[in-house]
Amino acid sequence: MSLDEVMERTAADLVPNDLEAFWMPFTANRAFKKRPRLISRAKDMHYFAPDGRAVLDGTAGLWCTNAGHNRAPIVEAIRNAATELDFAPTFQYGHPTAFTLASRIADLAPAGLDHVFFCNSGSEAVDTALKIALAYQNVIGQGARTRLIGRERGYHGVGFGGISVGGIVPNRRAFGTLLAGVDHLPTTYDRAHQAFTKGEPAYGAHFADELERIVGLHDPSTIAAVIVEPMAGSTGVIPAPQGYLQRLRDICDKYGILLIFDEVITGFGRLGHAFAAERYGVTPDLITFAKGVTSGAVPMGGVLARSSIHDAFMRGPEHVIELFHGYTYSAHPLACAAGIATLDLYAKEDLFARARKIEPIWADAVMSLREQPGVLDIRTVGLTAGIDLAPKDGKPGVRGYQALETAFHDLGFMVRATGDTLALTPPLIISEDQIGELIEKTGKVIAATA
C-alpha cells in the first residue's frame, strides 16, 4: 500500500469506533472492544471520557502518575525541551539534562547508590539490573555466579529476564523455558496469619530464610543476585513482612549475593519515601525505578547502582566501552526534562511526606470495606490497597472484571483488577474528600458484583 493510500485510508477509516488495529497489552481485547473504556484527556485526579464524563483515578494511571495528571510544570518542561532538543544519542555522546537528572535521583537514593543507568521502562530496568548483576560477578572474578533468584507472585516486567525471575504464572506459561538457572523464594503472603493488616504484617519474616535452603541446594558460589519487590504490587498489593527485607539483606551479605529491590512501583512516594529502601532501613545493591520518576508523562526507567558495582567496571583502557548494554532512547531529552520537573514538583509540594501523613487516613478508609459482601482480605501499605474478593462459583476472574467495568461505566472511577483482587493506588495528591468518594464508590462496586 502506498503512502498516499495509507493517508487516504487514515482519513476515511480511523473513526472512534474503529478499534481493531490496536492489539492491546494486558487486556481482554474482545471484551474491551465490545464495551470500550476510552479516555481522551486527564487533569489532576481525573480522567475524562470522550463524552466529557469525569472518571476519578484510583490507580494513578498504571501506578505511575504520582503527582497527578497533566501538571503544568511538567507539561511546560516537556514543551520547552521539545523546542530545544528532540533527540540526542547517549552512546558516546551526552546532553546536560541526563547528567542533571541522574544526580538528582542519586541524591534521593540511599547512601552509596550513586550511579544511574537510564532506560525507558520498568521492564527494561529489571533486565538492565539483572545484566549488571551478572556482568559484575564476571568482572570481579566470580563468573560462576550465574543463578538468579526471584519470588513467587513477583512481577518484574515482561522482558525475558523479568518474566524468568517473576512468579506470576499467566505471565510465564506461554513463553517456553525462559532463562535457565533461576529459582524462586516463596511468596510472603499467608492469609491465615496476615488478613486485614494495615502496613507491614508482623508475621512472615521467616519466609526470607528459604533463601538459606536455596543457597544450600545450588551452592552460594553459583548465585549472582536476588530480586524482590519491597511491596509486591501487580499481584495484588502484598507488603513485605516486618524484618523480612533485613533478613534477606543479611543472608545475601553472608554469601556474597547481590540484592536488587524492584522499586518500579514503590519508588517516588508510593510508600511515603523517595524509595521504599528508606522506609525499611535496608540498602540493596541495585534499585530499579520507572513510572513515578516522570509521573508517567514520558516513558523512563533506570537502575541505581552502588559505587562499588559501578567502579568495578571502570578498569582497562579508558577508550573501551565498559558495559555493552543500553537503549537508543536511554535518557531521552524529553524524559529527562519531565523527570527534573517531576522531582521539583514532588519537593515543592512535599508529596512524599504528604503520603506518609495521609497513610493512616487511607488505611482506615479502605478497611471500612471489610464487611462488604465477599471481601476475603484487605491489605494496605503507603497509598496502596489490595482487596481480595470471593470469586463467582466456577468463574475465577469474572467478578474482578465486572468490578472494572462497573466502576468505569456506572460509577465514574478507575480501579485495577488482578483476577478477583482489586487494587487502589491513587495519585499522591488525592484529598481526604476524594479518598471518601473513592472508597464509597468501591463499596458500591463490591456490592454490585457480589
Q: How far apart are CA 386 and CA 405, in angstroms?
A: 18
pLDDT of residue 157: 97
The pLDDT-based confidence of 17 (bands split at 50, 70, 90) is low
CB atoms within 10 A of CB 14: 9
- Average confidence (pLDDT) over 268-293: 98
- Average confidence (pLDDT) over 339-348: 98
Three-class secondary structure of residue 298 per DSSP:
coil
pLDDT of residue 394: 85
Q: Could you report the per-residue pLDDT of 127-149, keeping only the tens digit for each? A: 999 999 999 999 999 999 999 99
pLDDT of residue 437: 98
Instruction: Output DSSP code: residue 146.
Output: -
Contact 225, 259 (CB under 8 A): yes
Three-class secondary structure of residue 75 per DSSP:
helix
Q: How far apart are CA 53 and CA 284, in angstroms?
A: 44
- Average confidence (pLDDT) over 97-126: 98
Percentage above 90 pLDDT, the chain: 96
- Distances in Å between the Cα of 118 and the Cα atoms of 153, 210, 293, 339 are 26, 33, 11, 12
Q: What residue type is 55 in one-letter code?
A: V
Q: How far apart are CA 117 and CA 47, in angstroms?
A: 32
Contact 332, 317 (CB under 8 A): no
The pLDDT-based confidence of 14 (bands split at 50, 70, 90) is very low
Q: What residue type is 120 in one-letter code?
A: N
Contact 267, 292 (CB under 8 A): yes
- 12 has a pLDDT exceeding 60: no
pLDDT of residue 4: 56
Range from 6-10, 49-53, 224-228 that averages highest in pLDDT: 224-228
- Distances in Å between the Cα of 175 and the Cα atoms of 24, 126, 154, 159 are 18, 18, 17, 11
> Domains in the chain, please, with CATH?
37-66+350-449 (3.90.1150.10), 74-349 (3.40.640.10)
Contact 249, 259 (CB under 8 A): yes
Beta pairing partners, 225: 148, 258
Q: What residue type is 240 in one-letter code?
A: A
Q: Could you report the per-residue pLDDT of 185-241, keeping only the tens digit for each? A: 999 999 999 999 999 999 999 999 999 999 999 999 999 999 999 999 999 999 999
Q: Could you report the per-residue pLDDT of 173-196, keeping only the tens digit for each? A: 999 999 999 999 999 999 999 999
- Distances in Å between the Cα of 125 and the Cα atoms of 252, 290, 331 are 21, 7, 12
Beta pairing partners, 262: 288
pLDDT of residue 5: 54
Beta pairing partners, 424: 385
Mention every residue, 6+ apart, whose C-beta is less than 8 A from residue 314: 322
- Distances in Å between the Cα of 129 and the Cα atoms of 47, 132, 310, 395 are 33, 5, 12, 38
- 59 has a pLDDT exceeding 80: yes
Greatest distance between any 2 Cα atoms in the chain: 67
Q: Which residue, chain included where needed, has cell 552509596?
A: 112
The pLDDT-based confidence of 16 (bands split at 50, 70, 90) is low
Mean pLDDT of the chain: 96
pLDDT of residue 10: 45
- Average confidence (pLDDT) over 45-55: 96
- Average confidence (pLDDT) over 107-117: 98
- The three state secondary structure string of 79-144 is HHHHHHCCCCCCCCCCCHHHHHHHHHHHHHCCCCEEEEEEECCHHHHHHHHHHHHHHHHHHCCCCC
- Average confidence (pLDDT) over 140-161: 98
Q: Could you report the per-residue pLDDT of 412-450, keeping only the tens digit for each? A: 999 999 999 999 999 999 999 999 999 999 999 999 999
- Average confidence (pLDDT) over 304-328: 97
Beta pairing partners, 42: 47
- 375 has a pLDDT exceeding 60: yes
pLDDT of residue 7: 46
pTM: 0.95
- 395 has a pLDDT exceeding 70: yes
